[in-house]
Amino acid sequence: MNVVAASLSAAGGLAVAGAISAVLFGRSVRAALVGLLTAPAGAAAAVAGAAAAGGVSWSLAAPYLLPLTGVELAVDPLSGWFLLLIGAVTAVTGVYTVGYAGRQGHGPGARPSLVLLPLFAASLMLVPVAASVPTLLVGWELMAVTSLLLVLTEHRHAPAVRDAGIWYAALTQLGFVALLIGLVWLAGTAGGPSFAAIRAGARDVDAATASVVFLLGLIGFAGKAGAVPLHPWLPRAHAESPSHVSALMSAAMVKLGVYGLLRLGFDLLGGGAPWWWLLLAAVGAISALYGITQAAVARDIKRMLAFSTSENVGLILLGVGFAGMYAQAGNSTAAVLALAAALLHAANHGAFKALLFAGAGSVVRATGTRDMDRLGGLVRTMPATTVLFAGGALAAAALPPGNGFVSEWLLLQSLLHPGPDAGPMLTIAAPIAVAVVAATAGIGVATYVKAVGTGFLARPRSDRAATARESPPSMVVAMVLAGLACVALAVVPGLTIPVLSRIAGDLRLAPPGGTVAASTFALRVEAATLWPLWTVVGIVAGTAAVAVAARALGRARRRAPAWDCGGGPLTERMEYTATSFAEPLQRVFDNVLAPERDVDVTHADESRYHVAAIRFHQRIPDRVENRIYRPLVTALRSLGERVRPLANGSVHRYLGYMLVALLAVLVVGVLR
């Protein structure tokens, strides 16, 4: 029995054991048991993923498990990479659940929620190892249903949760239907449901069919990845679900959309046409820009992180799109580079977003609010959470020495080398993509400074924030684990390059044998070199040296009330809040964001020149949602109203409809 099989069985067994123990045990030990069984399940999946990424192959066909089609499983380096990511995130989330769900027995600690958590994790692990269309679709739907139920965990607390559930259910089912049609059509045309059969028969699929299948797959997979304009579920579901679920969804689940696109586009359809990848890159660019501008002005900490997920997924899709275009243009060096950047960014985003959502969850648990305008001052009451969140923010802002910087560096390098005979499309697209990445990085920095600076520093702006207490040790340990993953990816990203090159070779982007030169401590692209370790050492050692030298030369530090230009004693109402911090940026992007503002001025009775009270209310709507989805929902609703007479409750009439439909299908079938 090879290591992949053993680890995967262990992961599945532990996950099922977790679900069963949640059913059997009482609330005092339930969360701890589920958490402590889910964590090793994740670790086992990560081991399987690492082995598969390292080249261990394994496959299993179980025709008896599912009627008609059976279950087919297999691993290759691509599925191994995503399995590793999912396993690591699951392990961190499992540890986090112990403290987060706690012993109170409601909310995330309720029995249904704890039963579903390990099952959700297991369905996440099933998707990348599926080796046939039915198995993939079953895993996909299990993942959608379990995550939907987990999003609804706290539906009794707020109507917004139910709203989020409806949006998520609608869009995820739309995606599923698109996938179902596309993949079944592909399996039908290519000659069999298993991936091996499709791969073999893909040459016989004509270009038009392949394009339609790819577009349907794009709807399904990019929608799951949270790409604009299929994103409206994402800020809602990520914000309203419990934070351990947000972490799993944002860090692991959305990456499976990327996995699906890679599997379908490169592996099953064999590369397709350049315009597929241009379209994908455009979707990525729009997601990145739209996501980060929305994140920059969000005041809800989890909504901000969710839009930042859209942004990062956009960057990943941009990399995948360029990998496809480069491969079509015959520039295999750049193709491998772009794919490596995308896959590395997927891992980096998994690591820092798990950390950030865990940190946000700790804050929400301690203060009861997600509104950054009402937070602040947590650096004194929750020092560990603050430092860890700040570390995650550094990575997410793509600043050196964070791990996000490394993958954005690789992405920029891949865009710099379109090659001498790249053709007009790439020659124009690559510089524009550089501009998109650069603009995203700039706004991202402002976004995360806002999150750390107004969320955690200065004075508390509400009573709950003032009386917050540090999270239980298990949550801090989980955040430390995610932080260590970030550090490892920041310091030795070179270790992943051989695996990423092998994946690129498997996807037929490049001839076998890596083209990105890398050693443990350096990434080399043409003449440019990045030494991640030396950057880290330089910054840390330099800062320490300056601080120590300055202290040695000077006198001891004093504490005194802030001067603030000699004004009176400061109150927390004078501080900058998240809204005020983002106001200049919001003004810059006023035309894009179109915020809705209400200012109510109440005048004093005596004179209208005297103001008694001013109320300011601002909401930044999602314009894509308002422009695309609202009219659609309205149209569907009015259509529903209009056809209501057709459904008058008569069973005979319904039977008649079914007969007509059956006849119509038969007639079409015969005529064709």
565 binds another protein (CB under 8 A): yes
585 binds another protein (CB under 8 A): yes
Cα distance between residue 507 and residue 466, in whole Å: 53
Give, in degrees to the nearest 5, the angle at Cα 509 between 489 and 402.
Answer: 15
Q: Which of 145/445 has CB closer to another protein? A: 445
Q: Which of 188/442 has CB closer to another protein? A: 442
Q: Which of 142/533 has CB closer to another protein? A: 533
388 binds another protein (CB under 8 A): no
Rounded to an integer, what is the distance from CA 282 to the centroid of its chain? 18
- b/e string for 332-355 if b means 16 or more Cβ within 10 A? bbbbbbbbbbbbbbbbbbbbbbbb
Residues sharing a CB contact under 8 Å with residue 66, sequence separation 6 or more, in sequence order: 134, 135, 138
- Count the neighbouring beta carbons within 10 Å of the beta carbon of residue 484: 13
Closest C-alpha among 487, 246, 492, 489 to residue 370: 246
**Cβ(30)–Cβ(21) under 8 Å?**
yes
544 binds another protein (CB under 8 A): yes
Residues sharing a CB contact under 8 Å with residue 596, sequence separation 6 or more, in sequence order: 618, 619, 620, 621
611 binds another protein (CB under 8 A): no
**Cβ(139)–Cβ(130) under 8 Å?**
yes
644 binds another protein (CB under 8 A): no
382 binds another protein (CB under 8 A): no
Question: Sign of the CA dihedral 32, 95, 221, 439?
Answer: positive
Q: How far is the CB of 258 from another protein (least distance, A)?
A: 24
Residues 271-330 that bind another protein (CB under 8 A): 296
User: Token pair for residue 545?
Assistant: 């040296």
Which of 557, 617, 642, 672 is close enough to bind another protein by CB under 8 A? 557
Q: How far is the CB of 548 from another protein (least distance, A)?
A: 9
Q: How far is the CB of 187 from another protein (least distance, A)?
A: 42
Q: How far is the CB of 562 from another protein (least distance, A)?
A: 4
Q: How far is the CB of 670 from another protein (least distance, A)?
A: 57
**Cβ(504)–Cβ(510) under 8 Å?**
yes
434 binds another protein (CB under 8 A): yes
**Cβ(198)–Cβ(268) under 8 Å?**
yes
User: Token pair for residue 635?
Assistant: 């149209």
Q: Which stretch binds another protein (CB under 8 A): 43-51, 339-347, 440-448, 614-622?
A: 440-448
- The site for another protein, by CB under 8 A, has a size of 82
Q: How far is the CB of 599 from another protein (least distance, A)?
A: 19
563 binds another protein (CB under 8 A): yes
435 binds another protein (CB under 8 A): yes
Which of 29, 62, 160, 588 is close enough to bind another protein by CB under 8 A? 588
Q: Which of 192/400 has CB closer to another protein? A: 400
Q: How far is the CB of 648 from another protein (least distance, A)?
A: 59
610 binds another protein (CB under 8 A): no
631 binds another protein (CB under 8 A): no
Which of 55, 63, 188, 431 is close enough to bind another protein by CB under 8 A? 431
Task: Report helix, strand or coil for 130.
Answer: strand
Q: Which of 182/377 has CB closer to another protein? A: 377
Cα distance between residue 84 and residue 50, in whole Å: 6
**Cβ(414)–Cβ(338) under 8 Å?**
yes
Rounded to an integer, what is the distance from CA 306 to the centroid of its chain? 8
Task: Report helix, strand or coil for 518.
Answer: strand
552 binds another protein (CB under 8 A): no
594 binds another protein (CB under 8 A): no
Q: How far is the CB of 521 from another protein (least distance, A)?
A: 10
Q: Which of 547/664 has CB closer to another protein? A: 547
Q: Which of 551/627 has CB closer to another protein? A: 551
Which of 484, 574, 660, 661 is close enough to bind another protein by CB under 8 A? 574
Which of 62, 160, 545, 667 is close enough to bind another protein by CB under 8 A? 545
Q: Which of 85/582 has CB closer to another protein? A: 582
- b/e string for 450-465 if b means 16 or more Cβ within 10 A? bbbbbbbbbebbbeeb
Burial label, 545 (beta-carbon count in 10 A; 0-12, 13-18, 19+): exposed
Burial label, 656 (beta-carbon count in 10 A; 0-12, 13-18, 19+): exposed
**Cβ(625)–Cβ(593) under 8 Å?**
no
Q: Which stretch binds another protein (CB under 8 A): 267-275, 398-406, 616-624, 630-638?
A: 398-406
Which of 106, 162, 459, 464 is close enough to bind another protein by CB under 8 A? 459
Residues 411-430 that bind another protein (CB under 8 A): 412-413, 416-418, 427-428, 430
DSSP 8-state secondary structure symbol assigned to residue 119: H
Q: What is the x/- site pattern for another protein, positions 509-538, by CB under 8 A? A: -----------------xxxxxx--xx--x
User: Which helix (H) or strand (E) element contains residue 62?
Assistant: strand 58-62
400 binds another protein (CB under 8 A): yes
Q: What is the x/- site pattern for another protein, positions 155-194, by CB under 8 A? A: ----------------------------------------
Give, in degrees to the nearest 5, the angle at Cα 176 between 174 and 182.
Answer: 105
Q: Which of 203/559 has CB closer to another protein? A: 559
Q: How far is the CB of 541 from another protein (least distance, A)?
A: 8
User: Token pair for residue 300?
Assistant: 């809800």
Beta bridge partners of 72: 61
